[in-house]
A and B are shown apart, each in its own frame.
Chain A
Amino acid sequence: MVDISKLIEVRGHARGGQGMVTAFEILAKIFSYRYNYEVQAFPFFGVERTGAPIQAYLRISPEAILTRNYIYQPHLIVIFDEGLIDQTPVFDGLYEEGSLLINTENPPEFFKGKAKHIYTVPATRISVENKLGSKTLPIVNAAMVGAMLKILGADISEATEIIYEEVPAKPEANEKSAKTAFRQVQELTDEHYQPAQNGQTPPVSKEPEWDVPFWDKPMSINKTGNWRVIAPKYEELEAPCTDNCPAGTDVRKFVRLASEGKFEEAYEIIYQHNPFPAICGRVCPHFCQQNCNRIFLDEKVNIGAIERFIGDKNGQYPHQPETVENKEKIAVVGSGPAGLTAALRLRKMGYEVTVFEALPKAGGMMRSGIPAFRLPPDVLDKEIEKIERQGVKIITDKKVTIDELDEKFSAIITAVGSHIGSNLRIGNDELLIDGIEFLRDLNISGKKEQVKKGETVAVIGGGNTAIDVARTVLRLGTKPTIYYRRTRQEMPAIAEEVEEAIKEGVPIQFLTAPVRLKNKNGRHELILQKMELGEPDESGRRRPVPVEGSEYSVLTDKLIKAIGQWPDPFVFSGKEIEARQGRLNEVMADSKTPVFCAGDMAWGGTVVEAIGSGNEVGREVDAFLKGKEWKKPEKNREVATHDRINYRYYLPTPGNPTPVTTPGNLTNNFDEVASGLTQETILKEAGRCLHCGECFNCGNCLNYCPDAAIFIDDDFRLRIDYDYCKGCGICVRECPCSAIQYVEESSLAETEPKNELHQK
C-alpha cells in the first residue's frame, strides 16, 4: 500500500479515449470530499487524438500543494494500456521505493524488475464484462479508479457514490467495475529490486520503408490537397472459416447473427448452402474451425456447436413447398447429402425432382454409415422431412440404373455414394466382415448377429468407418482392437472421434498391417507385420514400409475390414465408369438423357463435401437445361489470414468445448455422446468470433482517425469522408480485423461518401 500521510504524486499512461483524465479527476474528488485532502489532477496538456499515448498527473496531499509543474518522479505509475510499455518510456523516473500499477492479464511477477512494489489488475476484462466502451477500446477508467483506491488504502464503499455521480454514462456498470477491480488487485513486493534497471525500454521495431506514390492530379479533385496518395477503403476480406467450408457456407455471417441472438436469420444463412445444419453441427470435421484465426490467440471458435444449436433450435422451421416453374424433370439417384442437396437446389429453382433410393430409408451414408451415438436418426429424419416439405419427391426401396431412367427425365444426377467396402486381399477374404456393410445392416435393419457378446474383434483401418465400427461393436459387448498401418497423426478419421474411441476403451495398434489370415479352430489367426514410416506418398502422408522380420500373429473371433469404399457400379448397369464431379460424357455416349455425377462417388468423403458437391451439380444442371455455358466459379477473394489480425485488440477468452460423455456402461447404449451447448453459452461462444475481414462496428477507426474523417452514416455504418481523409492509414493499421484496405487513389469511385455534416 502507498503511504499517503504526505504528498503523493501519481503519473498515469493511457490512450486518448480510455478515460484516464476523468479517472484522475474522480480520484481527486474522492480524496478531497471524503478525506479532506488537497488535490491536483491534470493531463499532460496537448492536442491529442483518441488512441494516442497520453499522460495525466494526480497529486494528493494532507497539506497545501506547493507546486504546479509536471510530475517527473512519481511515487506511483499507473499504466492503463499495457501496449504502451513498448512504445513510450512509461517506467521512467519512478521513486526507488515507488509503486507500479498495470492493467494486464499477467501476474505481477511478469513485471519483476520494473519497480519495488508491483500491482496488476485485469481492468480491460472487467470493463468489457461490464460493457464499458467497445471491445477494442474499452473504457477502463472506473476499474482503474477501483484499483488505485485499493493501492492508496482508501475505502471503496466511501468512493462508490462519487464514482456513480461523476462518470459521464453507465453509472451502475462503472460502480460495479470499480468494485470488482478493487478486489482483483494483485501485489508483489520485490525486496531485491534494483532501480538501475529502471528506464530501460525495449527498442521499438523499425517501420518498413514505403514506396510512396505522389499526387499528380489537380488539387481541386481532392480537398485534402496532395496529402493523400493512397486511400483507405472499407473492403471485406473472406474469412478463413468461410473460405474453408466445402459447402460454401457464409460461416462468419451466421456466427455473427448467432452472437446477436438472431438464430432464425443465422439458420437461413446456413440453409442457403447447407440443408443439414443439425447434422453437420454433429458429424462434420469442421473445416471452418481448422484455420480459425482465434487459434493464434487462444483456441478456435467452436463453430460446430453453434451450427448444431442453430440447426436444433430451428427444427420446426416452416419451409414452404416451392412451385414448379420449369417443364424439365430431373432424376437424382441416391438420397445422401449430395443427392438431396442437389435435389433441393433444383427444386428451389423450379424443377420437378425425383430422388431414387435403393435402401428403405433416405439419407445415404448419413443413414447407413454413421452410428446413432454420433447422429441420432431422428435428427436426420427431421432434416430430410424439411427437404420433402419443400417439394422434393423421394422414392425409397428403388434401386435404379441410368438405362431405366433414360428418356423419362431431362437430366439425371447420380449420387450413389461409396457403399462397397474395399477388399483387404490377404487371402481367406470370405472370412472378413465388411465394415460399411456391417454398419448399414445395423442401422437399417437392426442386424447385429455378426458379432457376439464377449468376442474379440479386430478392426482393420484408420478412417471414420473403422472408428465407428469399433465403437459400435464395443457397444455390442465385444472387445475390439483397431489395427492401423500408419500413426495416429496420419489417421484420416476425425481427431475428436479417435480421442473418444480411445477414451471409451478401444485399443489402437498403430504401424501394424495385416498380411495373412488363417482359420484356426473356428477362430481367426491374423498375421500382422510392424511398419515404419517412409517417404511421403501422393496423398502427402508418409508411406508405411514393412519392418523386416517383425511378423506376429493374434487370435481373434471376428475380423472387420474398413480400409476404404468405392461406388456401386449398378447405377451404370455394371459398366466401368470413372465417376467425377459434373457432367459424365462417357455415359452420354449411349444415353439420350444427360447424366451428371456428385457426392462421394466423385470426390470428398465427408457430409459437408457431399453438400458442396450437390450445390455445384445443381447449378451445373440448371445452366445446362437453360442452354448456358457453365464453369465452376473460381475462388479469388483475398482471405483475412492470421497475419492480418490485430490481436492486441482482442481479449483472450476461454472457449466452450462441446461436452462429450463417456458412459460407464456402454453395452447397448447408443445414446448420443456429444451434447449441445446452452443458448447462453452459444451466445458467448459466438461472441468470441474475431470477425476476420468484416467490419463489426467496433469504432476503432473512428476513434483513431486524427482528422475526424470517419463518420457514422444514416444506416449506422462507419464511412470514410474522402474530402477530409489524408490517407495516413492509421485506420488501416488499427483495424482489429483487416476490414479496411489500402487502395490506389485512382480506384476510388466518384460515388464515395462525403459527410454532409462536413459540407454544411
Chain B
Amino acid sequence: MLQFETTEMQKTPRADLLTRHTKKVLKGNSAAAIAAKLSKVSLVTAYPITPQTSIIEEITNMIASGEFDAESVNMESEHSVFAALIGASLAGERVFTATSGQGLFYAHEVLHAIAHMRLPVVACNVGRPSFPWNIWADQTDSISQRDTGWVQYYCESSQEVMDTIIQSYRLAEKLKLPVMVVLDAFYMSHTSENVYIPDQKMVNEFCPPREKMDDQIDLEHPKAFGGLVGPDMYDKYNRLYWESIRKVESETIQLGNEFDKTFGRKYAAVEAVNIHEKTEKILVTMASVTTTARQIVNRHPEVGLLKIRLFKPFPKKSVLSVLDNVSGDCAIINIDRNYPGDTEGALMQEMKRALHGTPYNIFGVYTGLGGRDVSSKTIEKIIESDFDKTGIDGVIWMT
C-alpha cells in the first residue's frame, strides 16, 4: 500500500482518467493558486512575501478576470491576514492564504487561535529559514510552528502541491483542524514542470462545498467568540483537540485512497521506496530533496527511502509499518533541511520519538539550510558517511 515504483506512477493519472485532466507546465506556486480555485475557496487574504507572492498574484489575477469566484482582501500584515481568516472561516467561508518565513513567524500567535478555535483553514507556506535573513529553501519557518496545532503536509512536486491542497480541505473540514501545505522555496515554488490539472467536476465530487456549522457566525443570533476560559474548562478543549489530531494519520491514508479512486493518483502519510528485509540504510526525507534521493536509491539496492508527507501529527504508525520487516541493524538517516535551534533536527527528533523502543540506529544530517543546493553528490556523500566516526552524537553537517 505504501510502496511506489517510480514517481511517474504517483504523478501521471491512470490512462482512463487522462482525458479528465489537462496537462500544463506549471510552477509549484501556480499549482497552489489553481488548487485554491479548484477547491472553490471563497475568500483569500494576502500580504506579499518572497517567494510566496506569486501564489497570491495568480489568485488575484484569476479573481480579477472572473475565472475564480472569490473575494480577495489585501491586509497590512500576516498577523492580520490570519486574523481575518478567523472571522471569515467563522462565518462559514472556505478560506485560503499563502505566506513564507518571517510572515509565518509574525502570524504565530494567530496560528494557535485558528487551530484551537477549530477552524478549517488551509494555508500554503513556501518554506524559508529563520535568521540570518535569507529567502531561500529551508523548512525552519513551518517546523517552528509544530506546536501551534496545525496539520502539516510537505510536498515533493507541483502535482503533489495541487492534489494536497484539494485533499486538505476535506481533512480540515471533517476534523475541524487547520492544515498547512508546505512546499520548498524556488526548487518547487519557481520550478516549471508537468502538472495534470483535474477537471472541475472531479474536484467538486471529491470536495463538496463546506457544510454549515452549528456555531458559525449568524447575524440573527449574535454570539461572542474567543473569550477567556478558566482553569475548570481549559483542558477540556485540549482533550477534544487531542482526540481529533489522533485521527489525522488514518484519515490522511483514507483520503489518499479515495483520491486515487477519483483522480488516479495515490497518496498516504508516508511513502516508502526500496525498503525491504535487506535494506541497510534508510534515508528519511521531506519535500524536494526526496526527488534527488530517489535517483540515488535507484543506484543503491541496499539503501531505502522514506518520504514523510504528513509531518504533523507525526505518522508513527505508518513509519513503524514501513519498518516492519527491516532488520534492527538498519541505519535510519534523517535529512533535516531545518534548524530548530537544537542539537537534533526536527525529522531526527520526530523519528526518535516514533521509533522509541526499537533497535534502530538513528542519525541526522543538517543539509540544504538557507537554500544550499542538495545535489545527488551530497546525497551520495550522506550514504557513504560513517556517522559513528564523524558524527557528534549521531549528527553531521553536510555542506
Which A residues contact B (CB, under 8 angstroms)?
A: 24-25, 28-29, 32-33, 38-43, 45, 47, 63-70, 72
Contact = CB atoms under 8 A, between A and B. Distances in A.
A68 B25 contact: no
Contacts of B289: 68
A42 B187 CA distance: 8
A71 to B, nearest CB: 10
Nearest to A37: B194
A200 to B, nearest CB: 24
A41 B191 contact: yes
Given A25-B25, A39-B25, A47-B50, A68 B291 contact: yes
A19 to B, nearest CB: 14
Contacts of B186: 42-43, 45
Contacts of B373: 69-70
A29 B30 CA distance: 14
B390 interface: no
20 contacts: A25-B192, A32-B23, A32-B194, A38-B193, A38-B194, A39-B193, A39-B194, A42-B192, A45-B186, A45-B187, A64-B8, A66-B7, A66-B291, A66-B294, A67-B291, A67-B376, A68-B187, A68-B191, A68-B292, A70-B373
Most buried by A among B25, B50, B193: B25
A45 B6 CA distance: 28
A69 B194 contact: no
A325 B225 CA distance: 89
Given A32-B194, A64-B6, A41 B135 contact: no
Nearest to B190: A42
Which bucket holds chain B's interface residue count? 20 to 34
Contacts of B7: 64, 66
Given A66-B7, A66-B292, A67-B376, A42 B25 contact: no
A79 to B, nearest CB: 21
Nearest to B368: A69
Nearest to B194: A32
A40 B192 contact: yes
B375 interface: yes
B212 to A, nearest CB: 42
Contacts of B51: 45
A350 B193 CA distance: 76
A28 B137 CA distance: 23
Interface string B165-193: 00000000000000000000111101111
A41 B192 contact: yes
B19 interface: no
A66 B135 contact: no
A16 B194 CA distance: 25
A40 B193 contact: yes
A28 B50 contact: no
B386 to A, nearest CB: 24
Nearest to A31: B25
Contacts of B378: 69
Most buried by A among B188, B192, B376: B192
B295 interface: yes
Contact of A45 (B190, B292, B294, B295): B190
Contact of A28 (B193, B291, B371): B193
Given A25-B192, A67-B376, A47 B187 contact: no
A64 B12 CA distance: 10
Contact of B298 (A29, A40, A47, A66): A66
Given A45-B137, A68-B292, 4 more contacts: A24-B192, A40-B193, A64-B8, A69-B376
B191 A40 contact: yes
B136 interface: yes
Contact of B375 (A29, A33, A42, A72): A72
Contact of B295 (A39, A43, A67): A67
Contact of B292 (A25, A28, A67, A72): A67
A10 to B, nearest CB: 13
Contacts of B25: 25, 28-29, 32-33, 39, 41
Nearest to B136: A45
The 6 A-B pairs of least Cβ separation, nearest first, read: A45-B186, A66-B295, A42-B191, A69-B375, A41-B192, A68-B291
A69 B292 contact: yes
Contacts of B6: 64
B380 to A, nearest CB: 12
B257 interface: no
Contacts of A69: 292, 373-376, 378
A55 to B, nearest CB: 12
B288 interface: yes
Nearest to A29: B25
Contacts of B371: 45
Most buried by A among B8, B11, B135, B373: B373
A45 B375 contact: no
A512 B7 CA distance: 91
A40 B11 CA distance: 14
A733 B137 CA distance: 34
A403 to B, nearest CB: 87
Nearest to A41: B192
B289 to A, nearest CB: 7
Contacts of A70: 373, 375
A65 B194 CA distance: 11
A620 B109 CA distance: 82
A43 B292 contact: no
Nearest to B158: A40
A67 B297 CA distance: 12
A66 B291 CA distance: 5
A38 B7 CA distance: 11
Interface string B127-141: 000000001110000
Nearest to B51: A45
A72 B377 CA distance: 11
Interface in B2-23: 6-8, 11, 23
A32 B24 CA distance: 8
Contacts of A32: 23, 25, 194
Contacts of A72: 375
A41 B186 CA distance: 11
A43 B136 CA distance: 13
Most buried by A among B186, B194, B375: B194
A85 B246 CA distance: 58
Contacts of B192: 24-25, 28-29, 39-42
A43 B27 CA distance: 11
A671 to B, nearest CB: 65
Contacts of B190: 42-43, 45
Contacts of B374: 69
A441 to B, nearest CB: 81
Interface in B352-399: 371, 373-376, 378
Interface string B268-303: 000000000000000000001101101100100000
A68 B192 CA distance: 11
Interface in B301-320: none
B247 to A, nearest CB: 32
Interface string B46-65: 00001100000000000000
Nearest to A70: B373
B135 A47 contact: yes
A248 B383 CA distance: 78
A72 B376 CA distance: 11
Most buried by A among B136, B191, B292, B376: B191
Most buried by B among A40, A47, A69: A69
Contacts of B135: 47
Nearest to B186: A45
A41 B26 CA distance: 9
Contacts of B288: 68
Interface in B190-225: 190-194
B21 to A, nearest CB: 13
A64 B185 CA distance: 22
Contacts of A45: 51, 136-137, 185-187, 190, 371
A146 to B, nearest CB: 19
A38 to B, nearest CB: 6
